[in-house]
Structure 1
Amino acid sequence: MGIFLKNKNYRKFTVASWLSNAGNILFYLALMTYASKLKNYALALSLISITEAIPDLLQSISGYFADKTRNKFKVMIWLAIIRFVLYVAVGILFVTNLAGWNLVLMVIGINFISDLAGMYSSGLQTPIIVDLVGENEISEAQGFTGGIFQLITMGAQFVGSALLLFMSYSTLAIVNALTFLMAGLMFANIAASLKKSQTTKTIQTVNERNFFTTFKTSIKQASEAHGLLTVVIVVALLNGLLSAIEPLISISFAANRGMLLGTYSFTIALFGAVVSIGTALGSAIGTKLLEKTSLFIIILLDTIASTCMIIAMINKNTIACLIFGAMLGFFAGTAGPKLIQWLVTSVDRKILASSMGAVNTILAIAGPIMTTIFTSIVGASSLNYALYGLLVVGVIIFIVTFYVMLKSQKSSEIDPEVEVNN
């Protein structure tokens, strides 16, 4: 928190990121709510979830181009303006005569393009944040801002749920567009401030290597960091499980109206809120409470919580889903900041975004695959078949994680006190 209060440019930079993300959350909830009212809502919700997950697979590419970008601030500003224009277009679409699937497919496409731009922008931001706060402070900075972001996510979901009661989908799209415009203006202000104080030297660091050389170097440097890749592979399996749970619980709420606590949008917002609170608590205090706890123990606990949540979904127990959702968030939030610190201190600054993208791609690759598989099962057969299949996967991941933990401890390949993001 001290860094956030003392470092003016980092504070403005963080607020700008919060703004654009909060607007995105508002509109995502609106789109999910609109799609839930379609006749074939399961397919619509599945398509939204899949297109939201696909950009994660492209982080290596977006990170590479981010490292090669010379004027990072200028490109970030233009990306914010492009996303502003995209959501103004979405707002216009919602007031046309288009309806149902035609509208949803067009909006999903625009949202996908915006997410790709957002992924590129995130890659540009990574080395800038390190330059603004310094390598030694990145864990503390990201832990605090990450926790606050989760609280903002929670607030945005509840605000979005409330706004949907009296505000149109078109208006919410325009609100989202305005948050991107405001973020772009703040980025421009920070860039001008840094240029005036002549502190942009390291931010202009550019990677001149080609993609394959960069990717190879990134993986090599990551593998040289003690046990990183072994941990990443295990965590990737868990990420796939957690990614598949999100759309399935949205479908569960839509299919079982008895699970709703009020309206559909409010229930989705409530679930997102408890996950956000758990993640915020994990970022703020979990890293201290579990400082000496083995990473694998945290992964095992997360796997147990996710398995229990699937059982709660099968039994249509909304309260239990909320409790275990909070636990999932807590363990994820506990691990997050350590991964960033680890990467920043292990790789060359010129390929920082590429290295971050490579690791994140490995972490994320199971998500879209498992999301596609289990949402397809819902469409082809039933929700229960998908949930039982996901339960089996959860048990398998627990067994694999436990086996790798024992093997790693015996061979001393991984320091048990190392923590990474899950």
Structure 2
Amino acid sequence: MNLLLTKKNFRKYFFLLTSSNIADSIYYIVLVTYASSLSNPAFAISLVTLSETLPEVFSPLAGSFADNIKNKYNTLKLLTLLRILFYLIISVLVLNHSMFLLYLMCILNFFSDICGKFFRTLLVPYIPHILTEDEIEEAQGLLGANFQLISILANFFGAILISIFSFSGISLINVSIFFISLFLVFSMRQSFKDFEQSIKIKNDSIQLEAVWSHLVHSLRMLYSGKHFFFLAIQFSFINGILNLLVPIISITLVVNQDLIVTNYSISIALFQGTISLGIILGGIWLIKYLKRIKLIKLMPFIYLSLFSLYFFLIIQNGLAIGSFFLVIGLLIGVVNPKFSHMTLTTFPRELLSTISGSCALLLKVVTIISSLLFSGVSASDDLNSIYSFYIVLVFLGTLSGGISIYLVNRRSETLKGDN
């Protein structure tokens, strides 16, 4: 928290991302609610989800473009103005209900999220510009905790706003939030200009050949850093497993209603909130005591917690399940900032946007595959099949982790032998 008080540029950066995340999180709830009111709600909601997830595929390309843009300050302004325009159009479209209008809104939401992805990748190298290497890990912990807090509150405030305002009114609220973002960008003009000068870019204009070459070079560099690459694979497995925890507990509560606290919705919110609370506490508090512990040494504790969770799912102990949700959240709250710190300090700033975008896609690979497989497994509502799928995924993640550690150690020994 000290960084927010003592570092003016970081404080503005923090609130800039906060405003963008608030607008994105609340409006996702609004779009899903709008979709649920149509004649085919399941298909409509899947369209909204697709418009939210597809932009991830373009992360590496967005990063490569971001690295090759010389005038980053003007680009940030343009992207914010585009998102304002998109939501102004949506505020008109939501005045009526139809599947055709939802198609148009999903297209606009898709391009808005592309702009948001581009906006964030442009800012990735900014953190090493305004903070020292020792401060980066604390900063990433604060940003991660803030993102989780927004995720927790988004459902609550989204529901309140829907009950008070029309869909069009909430679109206009989104527009006003993005105007706050635009104001913050204007207020950071000099800092962004200094940031632009600190990064060497050969061409004044964007050339597609240079963008493609830059992307290929960054991907090769990402793969050549074996230690980092194998860790990214581990995070992909862990993300894939974490993505299933809430759906698994949701189905568990349907089958075993003895675990329900007050009602089904509140129970889901409690379990989901427990993980998020753990991530917040891990990023703000626990990370201070584990600062000197290497990231690779924390990974076994995550898998141990995931294995332990399986046991308590089998015996249907709600209190123990909630406790391990908290423990897993605490560990994730520590390792996420450490991984971000490693990303920002391992690679040159000229490549950070592309590297970050490529990592974002890599971290989603197992999530996408496991989600597709889980939809088939969960169709039967058989808890044994669901829990078996979960433990197989945990086992595969643990196995890949062991192989990764072995390969990294072997490579290190080979390099020592050559020297």
TM-score, normalized by length of structure 2?
A: 0.80
State the SS of the aligned residue for 2:346.
coil
Q: CA deviation at 1:396?
A: 3.1
Letter aligned with residue 66 of structure 2: A
Q: CA deviation at 1:23?
A: 1.9
Aligned residues: 406
Is the deviation greater in 127-136 or in 311-320?
311-320
Letter aligned with residue 154 of structure 1: I
Q: Separation in 2 of the partners of 1:314 and 1:41?
A: 33
Q: In structure 2, which of residues 164, 167, 170 is the aligned counterpart of residue 166 of structure 1?
A: 164
Unaligned runs of 5+ in 2: 204-208, 414-419
Q: Separation in 1 of the partners of 2:55 and 2:301?
A: 28
Larger Rg: 2
Q: Report matched runs for 1:145-294 at 5 Å.
A: 145-191=143-189, 193-194=190-191, 199-202=194-197, 205-206=200-201, 210-223=210-223, 225=225, 227-245=227-245, 264=265, 270-291=270-291
| 8 Å CA contact retained: 2:223, 2:229 | yes
In structure 2, relative to structure 1, the CA distance for the partners of 1:401 and 1:244 (3 Å cut) is same
Counterpart in the other structure of 2:393: 394
Letter aligned with residue 108 of structure 1: C
| 8 Å CA contact retained: 2:226, 2:408 | no
Q: Report matched runs for 1:22-171 at 5 Å.
A: 22-36=22-36, 41-96=41-96, 98-99=97-98, 101-171=99-169
| 8 Å CA contact retained: 1:157, 1:272 | no
Task: Tell whether 2:402 aligns with 1:407.
Answer: no
Counterpart in the other structure of 2:206: none
| 8 Å CA contact retained: 2:306, 2:394 | no
State the SS of the aligned residue for 2:188.
helix
Q: CA deviation at 1:171?
A: 2.5
Q: Separation in 1 of the partners of 2:160 and 2:399?
A: 43
Q: Separation in 2 of the partners of 1:91 and 1:317?
A: 46
| 8 Å CA contact retained: 1:27, 1:173 | yes
In structure 2, relative to structure 1, the CA distance for the partners of 1:25 and 1:201 (3 Å cut) is closer
In structure 2, relative to structure 1, the CA distance for the partners of 1:206 and 1:332 (3 Å cut) is farther
Counterpart in the other structure of 2:372: 372
Q: Separation in 2 of the partners of 1:260 and 1:168?
A: 32
Q: CA deviation at 1:65?
A: 0.3
| 8 Å CA contact retained: 1:222, 1:346 | no
| 8 Å CA contact retained: 1:53, 1:368 | no
Q: CA deviation at 1:335?
A: 0.9
State the SS of the aligned residue for 1:345.
helix
Q: Report matched runs for 1:293-332 at 5 Å.
A: 295-296=295-296, 298-303=298-303, 305=305, 323-332=323-332
Q: Separation in 2 of the partners of 1:226 and 1:148?
A: 31
CA shift digits 1:17-74 (9 cap, x unpaired): 1011112211222333444566765554444444433322321111000001111121
Letter aligned with residue 191 of structure 2: L
Q: CA deviation at 1:272?
A: 4.7
| 8 Å CA contact retained: 1:139, 1:338 | yes
Letter aligned with residue 241 of structure 1: I
Q: Separation in 2 of the partners of 1:174 and 1:316?
A: 45
In structure 2, relative to structure 1, the CA distance for the partners of 1:293 and 1:33 (3 Å cut) is farther
Q: CA deviation at 1:123?
A: 0.7
| 8 Å CA contact retained: 1:83, 1:180 | yes
Letter aligned with residue 18 of structure 1: T
| 8 Å CA contact retained: 2:222, 2:228 | yes
> What RMSD, in angstroms, separates the aligned Cα atoms of the two structures?
3.8
In structure 2, relative to structure 1, the CA distance for the partners of 1:402 and 1:365 (3 Å cut) is closer
Counterpart in the other structure of 1:16: 16
**Percent pairwise identity:** 25
TM-score, normalized by length of structure 1?
A: 0.80
